[in-house]
């Protein structure tokens, strides 16, 4: 029953479509025919009005007087064509007059026989040649005879006659150039006068062209409408007797052998695609919202900072013990950091360096201590300042007293040397924090702090400042303005929820020189074997095993 209903519906639809097309075609032909009659009358009347107006105003058109938008086209009348030709002729006459005046000024401002126009004349050139020949002959006669000798008198008379002819010819050349100039001036004045007359006629004709353009546009519009109706009428006549339909039956309805829905395979495939898409979208959103730094490549991609070094996580022992072993991965990492700092700027190693981090317990103090110690081992005289006036810890690493330090220097006028303490390591000196003050931010932001840093920079090769974290405190941004470079310490695999970018935004507000970032507590074994081998985590283990086998 379903198949029969579908087939019957298709057949009746095709029949109805053919009848509807035939009925609509008949009605359309009649309607277009009536419209054509009215359009033809409007075209004839518009063209008749256009010709009557042109005849009554005396407009003589040499071409189509209306442009695409109905405006009167320039150059469409005899007056416009005459104006264009006279304008070109006047411009040429002006150019000829200027050239003639130039030639006249050139020939009238120099001696007669010094002008190029005169010398270039063939008659003058021939006379000058004859004069030179006669002058030579006169000189030969004078070398043989006296002044009253007949041949001498004859040559002198001939020379005088040639001079007279030469002057006359040169004067004729000058007069001809002057005559050309006067003629050019007269021609130019006549053309300009005629041009002004034609301009007036053209301006008066432009007012007439406005109405002419309106009438022409109306005639063109009616003609276009008539042409469109005529084309449509011909198309309707051509298709009137055709009884074809644009609807055809491709396949007749048949009873299906199996149900079309539900399709288990299709549903499973669709569910798989949707699941994979949702999983990919979830991972993408999680990656965008996660700002944790897990691998060294994240430093440059997420923080837009150069990577100065990667410090692996200490295994078994505390970081201070591993730094005491020159072959430990931690020592090697800080040696790499020292090498990077030596070439971190165009001038080499910055003299005053600030070490800071976004939050506490990220390895900032350890990095300050290791950097200062590593530079001291190179023979540099290094001063390490504990500027964390809230939780100082540098003095404990060296077993020094903290009864006097940076706080005393900032609250008094004591010399800087009074707070410097030597350490067991050669070339390394420490300024402890001193007693904890009630307002550390005001002390580190005072002019006295800048004076202390400048004094230390004049005394020591390198000054390393261990500052408090950036978030929640104003000490580190204030101290960054006093340093030649800032080292930003980042703990690996620590979720912060935007704290890193917030800290960098606060730090960059002081416009410091950011040398780069140091990734600390990095566990290469959790990030794949390529990081374990690349960062030297297994280098000394392999070396030890090789020696045991030998």
DSSP 499-522: HHHHHHHHHHTT---EEEEEEEEE
pLDDT band at 478 (very low <50, low <70, confident <90, very high): very high
Q: Are 514 and 507 in contact (CB under 8 A)?
A: yes
**Shared-domain flag, residues 133 and 241:** yes
**Shared-domain flag, residues 241 and 296:** no
**Shared-domain flag, residues 304 and 208:** no
**pLDDT tens-digit readout, 76-123:** 566 677 778 888 888 888 888 887 777 777 777 667 666 666 667 778
Among 217, 249, 281, residue at a domain's last position: 249
Which residues have a Cβ under 8 Å from the Cβ of 101 and sit 6 or more positions away? Answer: 181, 184, 185
Judged by average pLDDT, the poorest of 186-200, 259-273, 449-463 is 186-200
Q: What is the DSSP string of 361-418?
A: SSSHHHHHHHHHHHHHHTT--EEEEE--SSS--HHHHHT---SSSHHHHHHS---GGG
pTM beyond 0.75, yes or no: no
Is 70 exceeded by the pLDDT of residue 232? yes
**Shared-domain flag, residues 214 and 355:** no
In this structure, the dihedral spanned by the alpha carbons of residues 77, 78, 80 and 85, taken in order and rounded to 10 degrees, is: 140
Work out the mean pLDDT of the chain and round it to a whole number: 81
141-157 mean pLDDT: 81
pLDDT band at 324 (very low <50, low <70, confident <90, very high): confident
Q: What is the pLDDT of residue 2?
A: 80
How far is Cα 482 from Cα 489, in angstroms, rounded to an integer? 18
Report CA 533 to chain centroid distance, whole Å: 43
Judged by average pLDDT, the poorest of 11-15, 428-432, 481-485 is 11-15
**Shared-domain flag, residues 356 and 480:** yes
**Shared-domain flag, residues 147 and 44:** yes
Instruction: Give the CA distances from residue 528 to residues 144, 520, 532, 534, in Å, rounded to whole numbers and listed in that order.
Output: 121, 17, 7, 10
**pLDDT tens-digit readout, 479-500:** 999 999 999 999 988 766 678 8
Give strand pairing partners of 466. 355, 386
Residue 255 lies in a domain: no
266-289 mean pLDDT: 89
Among 225, 249, 273, residue at a domain's last position: 249
- Count the helix, strand and coil residues of the chain and give each as a percent rounded to the nearest 5: 60, 10, 30
Residue 317 lies in a domain: yes
How far is Cα 376 from Cα 357, in angstroms, rounded to an integer? 23
pLDDT band at 528 (very low <50, low <70, confident <90, very high): low
Q: What is the pLDDT of residue 40?
A: 82
Report the CATH number that the domain containing residue 359 is assigned in CATH.
3.40.50.300
Indicate the SS3 state at residue 74: coil
**Shared-domain flag, residues 197 and 345:** no
**Shared-domain flag, residues 328 and 469:** yes
pLDDT band at 405 (very low <50, low <70, confident <90, very high): very high
**Shared-domain flag, residues 526 and 386:** yes
Highest mean pLDDT of the ranges 150-154, 515-519, 532-536 = 515-519
**pLDDT tens-digit readout, 28-47:** 667 777 888 888 888 888 88
DSSP state, residue 13:
H
386-408 mean pLDDT: 91
- The residue that leads in pLDDT, 401 or 33, is 401
Report CA 413 to chain centroid distance, whole Å: 55
**Shared-domain flag, residues 207 and 293:** no
Among 249, 280, 304, residue at a domain's last position: 249
Residue 319 lies in a domain: yes
Q: What is the pLDDT of residue 375?
A: 95
Residue 266 lies in a domain: no
Residue 355 lies in a domain: yes
Residue 257 lies in a domain: no
Q: ω before 292 within 30° of 0 (cis)?
A: no
Q: For the chain, how many helices (H) and strands (E)?
A: 18, 8
Residue 264 lies in a domain: no
**pLDDT tens-digit readout, 331-375:** 899 999 999 999 988 888 999 999 999 998 888 999 999 999 999
**pLDDT tens-digit readout, 47-67:** 888 787 777 776 666 654 444
**Shared-domain flag, residues 21 and 107:** yes
- The residue that leads in pLDDT, 416 or 246, is 416
Q: Which domain holds residue 104?
A: 1-249
Is 80 exceeded by the pLDDT of residue 450? yes
Query: Structurally, how many domains does the chain consist of?
Result: 2
How far is Cα 374 from Cα 518, in angstroms, rounded to an integer? 15
**Shared-domain flag, residues 239 and 326:** no
Query: Can you read off the two tokens belonging to residue 52?
Result: 């009557």
pLDDT band at 220 (very low <50, low <70, confident <90, very high): confident
350: Cα within 13 Å, side-chain hemisphere: 24
Q: Are 540 and 509 in contact (CB under 8 A)?
A: no
**pLDDT > 70: what percent of the chain?**
81
Is 50 exceeded by the pLDDT of residue 550? no
pLDDT band at 549 (very low <50, low <70, confident <90, very high): very low
Q: Are 73 and 63 in contact (CB under 8 A)?
A: yes
Query: Contacts from 88-95 at CB under 8 Å and sequence distance 24+?
Result: 89/191, 90/188, 90/191, 90/192, 90/195, 93/184, 93/187, 93/188, 93/191, 93/192, 94/188
Residue 276 lies in a domain: no
176-196 mean pLDDT: 82
**pLDDT > 90: what percent of the chain?**
31
Residue given tokens 């006659």 in the structure block: 161
How far is Cα 363 from Cα 352, in angstroms, rounded to an integer? 19
């Amino acid at each position: 029953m379903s198949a029969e209903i579908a087939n019957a519906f298709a057949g009746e639809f095709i029949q109805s479509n053919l009848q509807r097309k035939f009925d609509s075609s008949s009605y359309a032909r009649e309607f277009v025919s009536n419209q054509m009659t009215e359009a033809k009358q409007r075209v004839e009347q518009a063209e008749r009005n256009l010709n009557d107006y042109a005849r009554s105003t005396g407009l003589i058109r040499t071409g189509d007087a209306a442009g695409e938008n109905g405006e009167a086209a320039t150059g469409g009348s005899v007056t416009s064509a005459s104006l264009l030709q006279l304008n070109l002729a006047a411009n040429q006459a002006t150019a000829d007059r200027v050239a003639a005046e130039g030639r006249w000024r050139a020939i009238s401002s120099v001696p007669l026989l010094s002008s190029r126009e005169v010398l270039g004349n063939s008659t003058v050139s021939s006379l000058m040649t004859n004069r030179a020949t006669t002058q030579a002959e006169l000189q030969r006669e004078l070398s043989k005879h006296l002044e009253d000798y007949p041949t001498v008198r004859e040559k002198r008379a001939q020379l005088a006659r040639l001079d007279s002819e030469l002057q006359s010819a040169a004067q004729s050349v000058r007069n001809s150039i002057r005559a050309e100039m006067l003629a050019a001036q007269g021609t130019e004045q006549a053309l300009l006068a005629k041009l002004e007359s034609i301009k007036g006629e053209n301006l008066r004709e432009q007012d007439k062209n406005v109405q002419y353009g309106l009438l022409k546009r109306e005639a063109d519009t009616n003609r276009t409408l008539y042409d469109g109706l005529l084309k449509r009428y011909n198309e309707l006549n051509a298709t009137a007797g055709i009884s074809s339909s644009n609807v055809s039956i491709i396949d007749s309805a048949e009873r299906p052998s199996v149900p079309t829905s539900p399709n288990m395979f299709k549903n499973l495939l669709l569910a798989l695609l949707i699941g994979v898409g949702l999983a990919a979208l979830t991972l993408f959103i999680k990656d965008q919202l996660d700002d944790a730094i897990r691998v060294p490549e994240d430093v440059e991609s997420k923080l837009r900072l150069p990577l100065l070094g990667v410090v692996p996580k200490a295994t078994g022992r505390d970081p201070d013990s591993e730094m005491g072993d020159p072959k430990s991965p931690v020592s090697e990492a800080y040696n790499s950091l020292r090498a990077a700092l030596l070439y971190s700027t165009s001038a080499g190693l910055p003299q005053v360096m600030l070490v800071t981090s976004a939050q506490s317990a990220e390895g900032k103090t350890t990095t300050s201590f290791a950097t200062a110690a590593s530079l001291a081992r190179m023979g540099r005289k290094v001063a390490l300042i504990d500027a964390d006036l809230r939780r100082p810890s540098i003095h404990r690493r060296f077993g020094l007293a903290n009864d006097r330090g940076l706080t005393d220097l900032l609250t008094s006028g004591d010399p800087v040397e009074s707070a410097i303490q030597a350490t067991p390591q050669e070339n390394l000196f420490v300024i402890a924090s001193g007693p904890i003050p009630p307002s550390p931010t005001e002390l580190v932001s005072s002019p006295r702090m800048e004076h202390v840093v400048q004094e230390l920079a004049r005394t020591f090769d390198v000054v390393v400042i261990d500052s408090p974290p950036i978030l929640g405190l104003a000490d580190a941004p204030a101290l960054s303005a006093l340093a030649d470079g800032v080292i930003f310490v980042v703990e690996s695999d620590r979720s912060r929820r935007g704290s890193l970018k917030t800290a960098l935004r606060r730090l960059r507000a002081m416009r410091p020189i950011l040398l780069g970032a140091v990734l600390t507590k990095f566990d290469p074994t959790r990030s794949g074997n390529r990081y374990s081998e690349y960062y030297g985590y297994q280098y000394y283990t392999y070396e030890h095993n090789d020696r045991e086998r030998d």
